[in-house]
Amino acid sequence: MIVDCAIYREGHRSEGPEDLSDALAVARAAGGFVWIGLHEPSEKEFDRVTEEFGLHPLAVEDALNAHQRPKLEVYDDSLFMVIKPVAYEPESDAVSTGEVMVFVGDGFVVTVRHGDGSPLAAVRRRLEEEPRLLEKGPTAVLYAISDATVDHYLEVATELQTDMEELEAEVFSPDLAGSRNTASRIYTFKRQVLEFRRATVPLALPMTRLAGTVPTGEGGVPFVDDRARPFFRDVQDHLTRVNESVEGLDRLVSDILSAHLAQTGVRQNDDMRKISSWAAMAAVPTLIAGVYGMNFDHMPELHWAWGYPAVILVMAALEVLMYRLFKGRGWL
């Protein structure tokens, strides 16, 4: 469905006509552009937009089906970019992603949103409050969407860093009461980092192209004003910080999982030593009692009056000796 449709002239908004072709013609005649926002449109609803703006069928297919990686595609009549906004849910410490598809062409911007967590409404309000930026045309819209999305990446990265510190404290805490669920929490957190990484890492190449920091010999991106490159470079710098943070989180969570498994193995070895120590202590009196329980007539001290107290004393002395030995070695 069409969420919003407006024409922008010299940075100021005016409502567009219902007919999309008229809106585009009016915008071009006035030296402005038309911005159409859609939310999870059906194929029939999007056919009108495709026909009026001449969008490439491959890009249209991606916009309708969603589930795309961040990318930047250049076609004859338009530029197509996929961005994945990320939302962090504090209640469940979970990361969720949406998708924003942006078509940029001569005198028009078409944005298609899938899922939640999209910054489009806030971006439109921000731009309408800054006419000097909005008058730069469709390039300003593409920059503002990229900037808002990457800035939110930084916030999510900070939240994940806090969760990481909590996991570290739990793994290395001497209190092992909650250790049973620690491995599950670490694995769940690793899945959240992976989901976040799928949104941020592939966006690096599109930002590199928009910022103009591609290898020598490659030209600029059509439908994007070359004067906007410094702004996209700023977004690229922020994205680099995010990706470095994501890489660090991914390595740390793997190290934490390894440390947790190592600690679990050490605790199991400690438990086995304790069990073995108590078993050895139980075996000594059992052995002595078994020998004297064979009921032979001719056995040393069998008919001695102090035989029974002596055997009990020997058992007790051996138990004390073994206990001190195992205790000294840290097995008990």
**Chain-centre distance of CA 126, in angstroms?**
27
CA distance 173 to 214: 47
Specify the DSSP element, H or E, that contains 81.
Answer: strand 78-83
DSSP class of residue 221 equals: -
Specify the DSSP element, H or E, that contains 100.
Answer: strand 99-105
pLDDT digits (tens, 9 = 90+) for 21-69: 778 788 888 888 989 889 888 888 888 888 888 899 999 999 998 888 9
Specify the DSSP element, H or E, that contains 108.
Answer: strand 108-114
Asked if residues 189 and 167 have their Cβ atoms less than 8 Å apart, the reply is: yes
CA distance 249 to 230: 29
pLDDT-derived band at 172 (thresholds 50, 70, 90) equals confident
Answer yes or no: is pLDDT of 175 > 70. Answer: no
Asked if residues 5 and 35 have their Cβ atoms less than 8 Å apart, the reply is: yes
Answer yes or no: is pLDDT of 93 > 80. Answer: no
Per-chain mean pLDDT for the chain: 84
Q: What is the DSSP string of 16-49?
A: PPSSHHHHHHHHHHTT-EEEEEEES--HHHHHHH
Per-residue model confidence (pLDDT) at position 177? 46
pLDDT digits (tens, 9 = 90+) for 124-147: 889 888 888 888 889 999 999 999
Buried b vs exposed e over 202-223: b needs ≥16 C-beta within 10 Å?
ebeebbbbbbbeeeeeeeebeb
pLDDT digits (tens, 9 = 90+) for 201-228: 999 999 999 988 765 445 578 888 888 8
**pLDDT above 90 covers what percent of the chain?**
29
Confidence (pTM): 0.77
